[in-house]
Structure 1
Amino acid sequence: MKFDLLVFDWDGTLMDSEARIVASMSAAFADLGLQPPPPAQARDVIGLGLEQAIRRLWPESAPTQRLDLIQRYRHHFLEANDTPTPLFEQAAEVVTELHAAGYLLAVATGKSRRGLDSALRQTGLDAVFHATRCADETFSKPHPQMLLELLDELGTDAGRCLMIGDTEYDLQMARNAGVAALGVSYGVHAPERLLALEPLGCLSAIAELPQWLGQGARPEHPSSVTGALEVASA
């Protein structure tokens, strides 16, 4: 199967940010005098937008309480917490190679726009992706809206798009949008959770992606997009 557009999740798929996310969520709860969620629960909601993640971790919370928690989380993740968030091994090389091969590349993430833009600058990958969507500017996964907007912006049919992610939220979003999905087993959700959603495969390392796509073969309709990122306000 040939694809023109490859859409990547960010946290847990390209970037190893789990430890900082869990620590920042724990600190945010503590700032409000609340018992932090167990690490396994905080880990499980990675991939959702912050509003949706907090609803799961704190079901009885009021909207104003969730807003306070979101603000404290962002303070810790973006400013106070210095836990390293490296790209997974070979991630930068893989997306650069695929960009050079003519694929359209995009990101669909539960991160905020401010958080994703910071990560793209930090990693030097801001010129590699042709479009991006974040959970604070559209619906959170597993709603299909992120993918539908990316398909529309980049002029691609759903049948020519592949979603790549480490959580069931990524795969459910792909299914809801009528898009093929590929799981990665090294991120947040266990392989059995991903395989239950019947992705086309489940990679054990991002470095396997070019070979899985067919020895790095070019798409049938190489991109004419220059690689400029979508610009959106934080």
Structure 2
Amino acid sequence: MSFALLCFDWDGTLMDSQVRIVNCLLGAFIDAGQPPPSRAAAADIIGLGLDEAMARLWPTADAAQRRLVAGHYRQRFLFADQTPAALFPGARETLEQLRAQGYLLAVATGKSRRGLDLSLAETGLAGLFEATRCADETASKPDPLMLLELMDELDVEPAQTLMIGDTEYDLHMAANARVGALAVCYGVHTPERLLACGPLACVQSLAAIPDWLATRSHAADRRLRT
């Protein structure tokens, strides 16, 4: 299998934003006058769309209560919280290398469009991606619609598409879209949890991705020759 389109998750895969997201989630519950979830529970939902995250964190709440907490979260994340969130080591260099090698790059994220655009502007990475999809403009992971829309926009087949992410939500979305999945083992979910989802591999760093792709491409070439 030779991939043409590489779809990256954002939080936990390209950006080390777990602490900021968790702080904002806990603060949002407090702002709404509700007991906050545990830090572990808040971290576990990173990767989902905000509506889906609220449903998991507060399953007994009604829609209005969840909207209230979600609104406080957006206010904190976009404007109030100053917790640092930086790209993971090698993120920029790896993306530039992959683009130079001819891969199409995309983002498939549980972030809102406003949140992703802010991160792209802050990091200066917007020009590296051919297309992006966010949870507030399509279906949230693990629904495959996000990937299906990206493939349709870029005219790429599932067999040529690879989803790269740090959570089981990314890997389940890839399976639902019938595309390849590569896990990164430094993000939100543990390697054991990721491997249980059956990815093609689990890499320890972003910098390892180009070599992994090259090795897989060379293996495919040898199979074709034989």
1:3 is matched with which residue? 3
CA 1:22–1:181: 2 relative to 1, 3 Å: same
> 2:145 corresponds to which residue?
145
CA offset at residue 43 of structure 1? 0.3
CA-to-aligned-CA distance 1:141-170 (integer Å, 9 cap, x gap): 000000000000000000000000000000
Report what 1:227 is aligned to.
Answer: none
CA distance in 2: counterparts of 1:66 and 1:92, whole angstroms: 35
State the match for 1:225 in structure 2.
Answer: none
Residue 102 (str. 1) matches residue 102 (str. 2): yes
* Residue pairs, 1:161-180, within 5 angstroms: 161-180=161-180
Could you say what the CA RMSD is over the residues aligned between the two structures, in angstroms? 1.3
Structure 1 residue 96 displacement after superposition: 1.1
List, as ranges, runs of 4+ consecutive aligned residues in structure 1 with deviation greater than 6 Å.
Answer: none
Deviations 1:127-186 (A, max 9, x none): 000000000001000000000000000000000000000000000000000000000000
Q: Corresponding residue for 1:25?
A: 25
- Corresponding residue for 1:64? 64
Partner residue in 2 for 1:186: 186
Question: Which residue is 2:221 aligned to?
Answer: none
SS at match of 2:105: strand
Residue in 2 aligned with 1:76?
76
Number of the residue aligned with 2:223: none
Contact 1:4 1:161 in 2 (8 A): yes
User: Which whole-Å CA distance do the structure 2 matches of 1:84 and 1:96 have between them?
Assistant: 23
Query: Counterpart in 1 of 2:222?
Result: none
**What residue is the counterpart of 2:48 in the other structure?**
48
Instruction: Report the Cα offset of residue 121 of structure 1.
Output: 0.5
Q: State the distance in 2 between where 1:212 and 1:86 align.
A: 24
The alpha carbon displacement at 1:216 in A equals: 11
Cα distance between partner residues in 1 of 2:162 and 2:215: 16
Conserved 8 A contact 1:210-1:216:
no
TM-score by length of 1: 0.91
Question: How far, CA to CA, are the matches of 2:49 and 2:156 in structure 1?
Answer: 25
In 1, Cα distance between equivalents of 2:132 and 2:44: 23
| Alpha-carbon distance, 1:122 to partner | 0.4
Q: For 1:84-123, list aligned pairs within 5 A.
A: 84-123=84-123
Q: Which moved more, 1:66-75 or 1:155-164?
A: 66-75
Q: Distance in 2 between matches of 1:60 and 1:36?
A: 14
Return the alpha-carbon distance in structure 2 between the equivalents of residues 102 and 121 of structure 1: 23
Between the aligned partners of 2:71 and 2:7, the Cα distance in structure 1 is 28
Query: For 2:210 and 2:194, how far apart are their aligned partners in 1?
Result: 20
**How many residue pairs align between the two structures?**
218
- SS of 1:127 mapped into structure 2: helix
Give the match for residue 202 of structure 2: 202
TM-score (norm 2): 0.94
Identify unmatched segments of 5+ residues in structure 1.
218-234
Looking at secondary structure, tell me which structure has more helix per residue: 2
Partner SS for 2:120: helix
Residue segments in structure 2 that go unaligned for 5+ positions in a row: 218-226
Cα separation, 1, equivalents of 2:71 and 2:213: 40
Q: 2-side partners of 1:98 and 1:28: how far apart?
A: 38
**Contact 1:98/1:216 (<8 A) preserved:** no
Displacement of 1:2: 1.0
